[in-house]
């Protein structure tokens, strides 16, 4: 049985969780997970081999075992540590922001003083920010999680599967769930607010803003909530949404509304969803088996991604009756087979 090390000591707990679930009980591979305490607290442990780790420990930990493949889930900091791993071992890195990893050192130098100055100076002096691109270049290869981003340079790592298959039917109420932190930087909530305030349909709607809301967006929602007709309800959260609440409302959703911005920024570098960056809403739709309405500018070949029409409220009413067979392409057994084949290929390269 071949041995894999999966390292996540930074950010993406949900990706580590997905990889863990799909690779569980594999007859071909045994996986050790090296997780920071922050990541460890966010995942379901079950029966996996998990080791607490951090940037000061991981190099010594990897010396104790021989691995056929090392996958690093996020390289957004600890660049000096990950560079050593990429140089020494058969390593693949999941790339989340393609413009960031391909930008110049000069652009990164300029970005240090633009925002988060103290944190970025720490990365510069202690974590090798100047050599941010070295781990990516020294790795055996780079992985992406969205098939739209896959190419000769970026290999798809298929980790998203359809976990929930039951379709909930609501007689009257139409539940529109907008997953993700409520921030205008990532999603166009001004557009959402305008649509809600101008609904003329007599149907019953519940709009669920499924992410922590604060600041201007919180004030806007509080104001809008006081002046809505009886057939329209808004639910929002002023605190971090628990996994239990998130799962509850995602299961209850008739349709997902994903009003992503044309562009977002990572480390002061422009990133474009579907071209240089994956939106987490894609994984949400697959996991919970929901049709998802995206802005018309978001190009996707996936049939469950629906371009938003001018009359989006009427579109929601029509989509309530529609369906998509997520099990055909995203059944657990299918994704598991694809992931194992991918891992096998990565090891053999």
What is residue 188's DSSP assignment?
-
Residues 6+ apart with CB under 8 A from 299: 148, 274
Q: In three state form, how does the secondary structure of 65-118 look?
A: CCCCEEEECCCCCCHHHHHHHHHHCCEEEECCEHHHHHCCHHHHHHHCCCCCHH
- Quickly list DSSP for 28-53: SEEEEEEE-HHHHTTS--TT-EEEE-
Do 12 and 41 form a contact (C-beta atoms < 8 A)? no
**What are 160-178's pLDDT values in tens digits?**
999 998 877 766 899 999 9
pTM of the model: 0.92
Q: Taking 80 as the threshold, does the pLDDT of residue 265 lie above it?
A: yes
**Percent of all residues in the chain with a pLDDT value above 70, rounded to a whole number:** 99
The helix (H) or strand (E) run that includes residue 61 is: helix 58-63
- CA dihedral over 9, 12, 13, 19, signed as positive or negative: negative
pLDDT at position 170:
67
Which tokens hold the place of 8? 């996540």
Could you tell me the domains of the chain?
Answer: 2-160+332-348 (3.40.50.2000), 173-329 (3.40.50.2000)
In the predicted model, what is the mean pLDDT of residues 135-159? Answer: 96
Please, which pLDDT band fits residue 196 given cuts at 50, 70 and 90? Answer: very high
Please, which pLDDT band fits residue 14 given cuts at 50, 70 and 90? Answer: very high
Q: 65-69, 240-244, 302-306: which range is least confident on average?
A: 240-244
Distance CA 22, CA 33 (A): 14
Closest Cα to residue 155, out of 341, 334, 286?
A: 341
Residue bearing tokens 């990706």: 15
**What are 113-142's pLDDT values in tens digits?**
677 778 778 887 788 888 889 999 999 999
Do 288 and 164 form a contact (C-beta atoms < 8 A)? yes
* Distance linking the first and last C-alpha atoms of the chain: 18
Please, which pLDDT band fits residue 321 given cuts at 50, 70 and 90? Answer: confident
- Quickly list DSSP for 264-329: EEETTEEE-BTTTB--HHHHHHHHHT--EEE-TT-----TTEEEPPSSHHHHHHHHTT----THHH
In this structure, are strands 154-156 and 264-266 parallel, antiparallel, or unpaired? Answer: unpaired
Please, which pLDDT band fits residue 75 given cuts at 50, 70 and 90? Answer: very high
């Amino acid at each position: 049985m071949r041995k894999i090390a999966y390292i996540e000591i930074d950010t993406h707990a949900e990706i580590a969780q997905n990889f863990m679930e799909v690779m569980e009980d594999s007859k071909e591979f045994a996986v050790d997970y090296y997780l920071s305490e922050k990541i460890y607290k966010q995942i379901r442990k079950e029966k996996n081999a998990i080791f607490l780790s951090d940037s000061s420990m991981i190099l010594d930990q990897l010396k104790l075992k021989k691995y056929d493949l090392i996958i690093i889930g996020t390289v957004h900091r600890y660049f000096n540590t990950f560079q050593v791993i990429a140089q020494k071992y058969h390593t693949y890195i999941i790339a989340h922001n393609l413009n960031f990893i391909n930008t110049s050192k000069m652009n990164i130098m300029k970005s240090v003083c633009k925002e988060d100055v103290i944190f970025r100076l720490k990365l510069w002096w202690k974590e090798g920010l100047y050599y941010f691109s070295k781990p990516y270049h020294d790795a055996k290869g780079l992985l992406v999680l969205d098939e739209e981003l896959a190419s000769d340079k970026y290999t798809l790592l298929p980790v998203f599967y359809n976990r929930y298959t039951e379709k909930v039917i609501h007689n009257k109420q139409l539940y529109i769930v907008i997953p993700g932190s409520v921030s205008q930087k990532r999603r166009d909530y001004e557009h959402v607010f305008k649509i809600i305030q101008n609904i003329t349909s007599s149907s019953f709607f519940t709009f669920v803003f499924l992410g922590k809301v604060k600041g201007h967006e919180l004030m806007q929602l509080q104001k809008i909530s006081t002046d809505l007709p009886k057939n329209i309800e808004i639910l929002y959260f002023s605190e971090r949404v628990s996994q239990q609440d998130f799962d509850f409302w995602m299961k209850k959703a008739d349709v997902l509304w994903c009003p992503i911005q044309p562009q977002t920024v990572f480390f002061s570098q422009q990133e474009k969803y579907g071209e240089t960056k994956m939106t987490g809403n894609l994984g949400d739709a697959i996991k919970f088996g929901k049709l998802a309405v995206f802005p018309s500018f978001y190009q996707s070949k996936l049939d469950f991604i629906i371009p938003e029409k001018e009359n989006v409220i009427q579109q929601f009413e029509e989509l309530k009756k529609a369906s998509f067979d997520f099990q055909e392409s995203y059944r657990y057994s299918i994704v598991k087979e694809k992931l194992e084949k991918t891992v096998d290929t990565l090891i053999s390269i």
